[in-house]
Amino acid sequence: MAFERAYDTATLSQGSETMCAAPIADHPYREAVLAELHARPVELVAPNMRVRRLVLTVPNRSGGMRKAMEEFLQFAARNGHAVKDDGSRQYQFTTPERVATWEFHTEFITITWYAALTDLENWPQDIGLDALGEAELVGAMRVDLMDEPELPERVFPSFRPTSLCLVAVEYGNAQLATDFVPDKDKFVRFEFAAGKLSPLRRAITLRRILEIETYRNMALLALPLARRTGPDLRAVEMGLTDVMTDLSAVETTDAVQDRLKSLHALAVRSGQISEQLNYRFAAAYAYGAILRNRLEKLRETTLGQGSSLSSFIGNRVEPALATCAAMDKRLAVLLEKLQRAVELLNVRISLDMQIQNKSVLETIAETARSQFRLQHTVEGLSTIAITYYLIGILGYALAGPLEATGWSKTLAISILSPIALVAVFFGLRAIRRGFDKGSKH
């Protein structure tokens, strides 16, 4: 009764607070943030069960994931499965023999289905596999969950001894074994004895096992791309080395322009390589971080046989991610070197242009000086010529008066010549100044 009274009081208190609370507008992403907490809930599973999962990628183009989701929803509608297109990224439905879950991630899809431990059908037709369209298989796994405290001896002969991983998980309360070798139907098998775990811990541990294999596959997708792109990256690096080595012997502007074109081609190729690798490497690093987290949360200890999951996976995944990181660093250094080389060539071209411009300006200045000297020479000759003709005209004009007055013509011309020369000089100078003022205006 005391509990009931306390509950009633709390309920009334909450109700009064709700009625009195001032309305506050929700953030546009509030519902999405809350929904993300429950987007992929842990599914409780039976003690004895066979769980399979497929990991698939969709074509790397705009709308690829949305198209895959639409194809799944069409399958669900055709088969009467009650799934809603509410923006969720996890859909679950039940068939007579299985419980299937489709999860749509950023760049991949997982299809997980739960069946009896005796189920032998690896590729059932009732879970929507025909709705996958252009999706491609990346990973396939099978977990045999058994309600036993330890793994029975019958499961070990089918594993490969050289790659066997045998560990106790969840502080020794469960055991897990695998060899990461796919069977004839492409499934990697895990044997999971979880008889000592509670239903919730059993479900959580099972989900971590599935996620470990999922993110292991997705993290390693970057390695084949890195290996395939390595020769192209090396070719660009060698091309840059050749251009930079040859640059010191380049003397003409045309040769520098040729080197600049070569650098441009190398920059384009390195940009293409970067476009191919950046997203894949970034995704690999993210998947690797999730993988490490899930391995750590297993809380595993070795059982004296085989290897631990952390050791076996780490020895394969970590070098692959280190290879990607090294290539990522090489690509960044290459792009930086290309940028510096282009800047260096641009400086060289600018200096050559400045030298050429200086030579052209010096030629123009020398031409102007020559024209100036020629102009003065012409002006001097013009002054003399005009004075000569002016004196001649004056000699003819004064011949009569001088003869009448008895003056000597030669003496008169001698006196008038300097006056005529000065007058012509200042007259031409005044004309030139007037012309210069007119041209300025």
Residue 253 vs residue 177, higher pLDDT = 177
Beta bridge partners, 302, equal 167
Query: How many angstroms separate the CA atoms of 270 and 334, rounded?
Result: 8
Phi, psi of 114 (to 5 degrees): -115, 130
Which of 63-92 are b and which e, b meaning 16 or more Cβ less than 10 Å from the residue's Cβ? ebbeebbebbbebbeeeebebeeeeebbbb
Measured between alpha carbons, how far is residue 329 from residues 205, 278, 336 in Å? 36, 11, 11
Angle at 70 between CA 66 and CA 76, to 5 degrees: 145
pLDDT at 5: 41
Q: Where does residue 128 rank: exposed (0-12), middle (13-18), buried (19+ CB within 10 A)?
A: buried
Biggest alpha carbon–alpha carbon distance for the chain = 162
* 287-327 pLDDT tens trace: 999 999 999 999 999 998 889 999 999 999 999 999 999 99
The secondary structure element, H or E, covering residue 145 is strand 136-146
pLDDT level of residue 56 (50, 70, 90 thresholds): very high
Please say whether the dihedral angle defined by the alpha carbons of residues 204, 208, 158 and 101, taken in this order, is positive or negative. positive
> Rounded to two decimals, what is the model's pTM?
0.74
Phi-psi bin for 318: left (phi > 0), alpha (psi -120 to 50), beta? alpha
pLDDT at 37: 72
- Domain range annotation of the chain: 40-201, 222-357, 361-440
* 146-166 pLDDT tens trace: 999 999 999 999 999 999 999
pLDDT at 194: 95
pLDDT level of residue 106 (50, 70, 90 thresholds): confident
pLDDT level of residue 224 (50, 70, 90 thresholds): very high
Query: How many angstroms separate the CA atoms of 173 and 170, rounded?
Result: 5
Query: How many angstroms separate the CA atoms of 193 and 195, rounded?
Result: 6
Residue 141 confidence (pLDDT) above 80: yes
pLDDT at 263: 83
pLDDT, mean of residues 205-218:
96
Pairing of strands 90-94, 99-104: antiparallel
Residue 124 confidence (pLDDT) above 90: yes
Residue 20 confidence (pLDDT) above 60: no
